[in-house]
């Protein structure tokens, strides 16, 4: 194996130039997904969709995600190895007992410690970056694309042709997920919104996975990117993945959401998928507010116009309102009721890079939790009065088959 090359997995040299998931799996070697790390702890798999995550089943009942990040001085973690830190999150509906979460992290840290030096050094050596103008675009290969997600009784897959986002909304939660990945790759610290990793073989991997994995609904880009950000104009990875889905013998239900209007390009393609849903995030009706918080995203009138076009073409639509931003909830409910009958609501979960945006005296009140909650409730009531269904979570209830697993 050449220095800086990818690690081996199960004794097989991986040919893909770089995908962090493979390095996560290499940290767990010689253990493979499905095998026991301890008599009470089964290793289920690795994912980079929602951060660097290893998943386990404790006592064959409790799904526990272990989040991996570079170790930082002065931070507290559930467990640490010499170079990495480990925290836990519950996987199913049930919360993970603190003691159990910590035990899982300790077991993982002990397993990872002897091999992390080798894996992390190879990872750093193999990280290369292509600079295009002021934008950092890396082309990477992936060995897996569809990521199991959801709760045990409502399983679906996430699909992200891109990691990172050039739209760069400053409150975007993706930055907190992707920053640890970049730190592990020893990539330069650059502002959120100026980099993206493109999984250039995504359509080919998807075609194979649709043939071999159990059928489940697919949700594009749940958090780590926007499927229609600027690079998609030339890279066409989202479009080619949709083509693969449309050509499948039994195309799975598919949800794709964006803050960009490029999705209109794929209207005919989306219309050809029997159970396709499209969506947009519309956190306010006031485009001045939108321009303040999401300067590089499509305007609100453009997003509404896009949804009207999909409505007229007979494609099902959802809207996500998250976080709550200043504006009249009744007017927003009026506008949304004209383009969708299904809305997901969510409040601000941390300002992240948007502290300066919220520090503006015109908008400072919107950062307060009571205002977020009050506005979400007012909007919910206004939507329900207009016959729009309101849901929380990852997928509209209509998209999940009853008893899906």
What is the total count of residues that contact ligand SF4 (CB under 6 A)? Answer: 10
In the complex with ligand SF4, the residue whose CB is nearer, 269 or 352, is 352
**Per-residue tokens: 197:** 């990793």
Crossing angle of the two packed helices 174-185 and 98-126, in degrees rounded to 10: 50
Three-state helix/strand/coil letters over 314-339:
CCEEEEEECCCCCCCHHHHHHHHHCC
> Is the bond preceding 21 in cis, omega lying within 30 degrees of 0?
no
Angle 148-151-154 from CA coordinates, rounded to 5°: 85
- 167 makes contact with ligand SF4 (CB under 6 A): yes
In the complex with ligand SF4, the residue whose CB is nearer, 225 or 284, is 225
Shortest Å, Cβ 162 to ligand SF4: 9
The answer to whether the CB of 383 falls within 8 A of the CB of 337 is: yes
Cβ-Cβ contacts under 8 Å for 355 (sequence gap 6 or more):
none
In the complex with ligand SF4, the residue whose CB is nearer, 47 or 322, is 322
Shortest Å, Cβ 124 to ligand SF4: 26
Site pattern 173..212 for ligand SF4 (x: CB under 6 A): -x--------------------------------------
Shortest Å, Cβ 155 to ligand SF4: 23
374 forms bridges with which residues in the sheet? none
- CA nearest neighbour of 238 among 211, 215, 257, 217: 257
Shortest Å, Cβ 172 to ligand SF4: 3
User: In whole angstroms, what is the distance from residue 38 CA to residue 19 CA?
Assistant: 27
299 DSSP assignment: P
φ, ψ at 124 (rounded to 5°) = -65, -40
- Tell me the window of 144-152, 165-173, 232-240, 364-372 that interacts with ligand SF4 (CB under 6 A): 165-173
- 165 makes contact with ligand SF4 (CB under 6 A): yes
3-state class (DSSP) for residue 200: coil
- Site for ligand SF4 (CB under 6 A): which residue of 47, 225, 238, 342? 225
Shortest Å, Cβ 174 to ligand SF4: 5
- Tell me the window of 164-172, 346-354, 367-375, 389-397 that interacts with ligand SF4 (CB under 6 A): 164-172
Site pattern 281..320 for ligand SF4 (x: CB under 6 A): ----------------x-----------------------
- Tell me the window of 73-81, 167-175, 243-251, 334-342 that interacts with ligand SF4 (CB under 6 A): 167-175
In the complex with ligand SF4, the residue whose CB is nearer, 20 or 172, is 172
Shortest Å, Cβ 203 to ligand SF4: 21
- Tell me the window of 110-118, 151-159, 161-169, 314-322 that interacts with ligand SF4 (CB under 6 A): 161-169
Helix count (H) and strand count (E) of the chain?
12, 20
> Is the bond preceding 92 in cis, omega lying within 30 degrees of 0?
no
Shortest Å, Cβ 389 to ligand SF4: 23
- 226 makes contact with ligand SF4 (CB under 6 A): yes
- Tell me the window of 39-47, 150-158, 168-176, 235-243 that interacts with ligand SF4 (CB under 6 A): 168-176
- Tell me the window of 86-94, 166-174, 234-242, 298-306 that interacts with ligand SF4 (CB under 6 A): 166-174
3-state class (DSSP) for residue 225: coil
280 forms bridges with which residues in the sheet? 258, 319
2 DSSP assignment: -
- Site for ligand SF4 (CB under 6 A): which residue of 45, 168, 203, 279? 168
10 forms bridges with which residues in the sheet? none
Task: Name the CA radius of gyration of the chain, rounded.
Answer: 21
Cα 307 to Cα 226, 281, 318, 320: the distances in Å are: 16, 11, 9, 12
In the complex with ligand SF4, the residue whose CB is nearer, 23 or 171, is 171
Q: Kindly list the residues in this chain that would bind ligand SF4 in the complex (CB under 6 A).
A: 165, 167-169, 172, 174, 225-226, 259, 297
């Amino acid at each position: 194996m050449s220095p800086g090359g990818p690690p081996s997995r199960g004794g097989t040299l991986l040919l893909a130039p770089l995908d962090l998931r493979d390095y996560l799996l290499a940290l767990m070697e010689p253990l493979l997904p499905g095998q026991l790390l301890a008599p009470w702890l089964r290793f289920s798999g690795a994912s980079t969709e929602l951060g660097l995550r290893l998943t386990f089943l404790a006592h064959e009942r409790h799904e526990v995600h272990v989040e991996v990040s570079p170790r930082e001085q002065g931070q507290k973690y559930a467990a640490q190895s010499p170079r990495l830190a480990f925290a836990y999150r519950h996987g199913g509906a049930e919360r993970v007992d603190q003691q159990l979460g910590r035990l899982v992290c300790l077991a993982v840290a002990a397993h990872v410690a002897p091999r992390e030096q080798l894996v992390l050094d190879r990872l750093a050596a193999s990280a290369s970056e292509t600079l295009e103008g002021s934008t950092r675009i890396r082309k990477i290969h992936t060995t897996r694309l569809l990521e199991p997600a959801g709760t045990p009784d409502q399983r679906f897959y996430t699909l992200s042709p891109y990691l990172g986002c050039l739209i760069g909304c400053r409150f975007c939660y993706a930055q907190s997920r992707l920053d640890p990945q970049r730190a592990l790759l020893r990539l330069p610290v650059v502002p959120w919104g100026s980099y993206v990793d493109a999984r250039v073989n995504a359509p080919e991997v998807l075609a194979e996975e649709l043939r071999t994995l159990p059928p489940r609904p697919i949700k594009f880009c749940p958090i780590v990117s926007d499927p229609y950000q600027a690079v998609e104009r030339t890279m066409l990875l989202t479009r080619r993945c949709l083509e693969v889905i449309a050509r499948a013998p039994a195309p799975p239900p598919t949800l794709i959401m964006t803050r960009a209007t490029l999705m209109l390009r794929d209207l005919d393609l989306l219309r050809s998928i029997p159970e396709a849903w499209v969506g947009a995030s519309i956190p306010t009706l006031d485009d001045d507010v939108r321009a303040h918080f999401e300067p590089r995203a499509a305007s609100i009138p453009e997003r509404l116009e896009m949804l009207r076009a999909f409505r007229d073409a007979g494609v099902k639509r959802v809207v996500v309102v998250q976080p709550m931003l200043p504006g009249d909830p009744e007017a927003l409910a009026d506008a949304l009721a004209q383009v969708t009958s299904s809305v997901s609501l969510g409040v601000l979960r941390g300002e992240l890079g948007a502290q300066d945006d919220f520090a503006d005296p015109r908008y400072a009140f919107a950062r307060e939790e009571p205002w977020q909650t009050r506005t979400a409730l007012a909007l919910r009531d206004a939507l329900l009065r207009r016959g729009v269904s309101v849901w929380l979570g990852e997928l509209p209830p209509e998209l999940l088959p009853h008893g899906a697993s």
